[in-house]
Amino acid sequence: MLRLACLVLCLAAPARADCRLALALAVDVSRSIDAQDYVIQTDGLAGALQDREVRAAIFGPEGKVALAIYYWSGRGYQDLVQPWVILDSPEALDAAIWEIRRTPRPEAPLATALGDALSYGLELMSGAPVCERRVIDVAGDGRNNDGISVARTYEREDFTGITVNGLAVGEHEAGITDYYAEEVIRGPGAFVEVAPRQTDYPEVIRRKLLRELEGPMIGLLPSRDPTEG
C-alpha cells in the first residue's frame, strides 16, 4: 500500500521543467538610437553573452535556458533576430551571438512603440519552450510615443506568469527610470537596471543578465540612476 501511495503521489506531482528560464531580450532600435548607439548596444549585448561569468550562469546545473531576441521601434515594427533556441551547448550560444552581430541597424527612423513591443513579447512567449520562469527583458531610452500605451497593453492582455524587467537608458529623457519602474516592469521580483549613458549599456546589460539568470530576488529595490536623485 505504501508503495502504491508513493506511486500515486509521484504521478500527481507536476514534472519539473528541464528548462529553468525562457528569456526574451527586447532591444530598442527606435530613431533615438543612432548608428553609434546601435554599435554600442550590439557589441554590448554580444559581449555580455560572451562574458565568462554569464556563460557559466547559462550553463549552470539548475537547468537549461531558452533564449529569443527581438528588436523593436515603431508601431508594427518588431524584428525577430533570434527565434527561440535552447542554449544547451556553447555552440548554440555562439550562434545566437553571431545573429546579434550580423543583424544590420534598421534604415527607417521610427518612433517608440513600447506597448506594441510588449504585446509582441507576449505573443513570442506563447511559443516558448516549457520553462519554470518566463522573462521579457526590455531595454529602451524613451517613453512610449506611438501605438498602444504600455498601460493599455497590460489591461487588455494576460501577462500572468511572465516577468517583465527593464533596462532604462537615461541619456535622452529625464525620469526614464521612474517610468520603467512605475509603468513597464511587471511580475514577482521584477526590476529595473539603469544605464545613465548609452556607453554604460555594455556593463549594465551584463549585470542584468546575471540577475535574470540567478532568478528573482523578491523585495529587492530596483537599481536607480544616481543622476535622478
| CATH at 162 | 3.40.50.410
Secondary structure class of 227 (helix, strand, coil) = helix
Q: Is the pLDDT of residue 39 over 70?
A: yes
Distance separating alpha carbons of residues 202 and 117, to the nearest angstrom: 22
**Does 8 fall in a domain?**
no
> Which of 190, 204, 220 has its CA nearest to residue 51?
204
Domain count, the chain: 1
DSSP code of residue 223: P
**Does 46 fall in a domain?**
yes
In single-letter form, the type of residue at position 29 comes to: V
Under the banding of pLDDT at 50, 70 and 90, the label for residue 222 is very low
Q: What is the pLDDT of residues 58-117, one digit of tens each?
A: 999 999 999 999 999 999 999 999 999 999 999 999 999 999 999 999 887 899 999 999
Q: What is the pLDDT of residues 48-58, one digit of tens each?
A: 999 999 999 99
**Does 148 fall in a domain?**
yes
Residue with cell 559581449: 47
Range of the domain at 145: 18-167+197-215
Q: Model's pTM, two decimal places?
A: 0.87
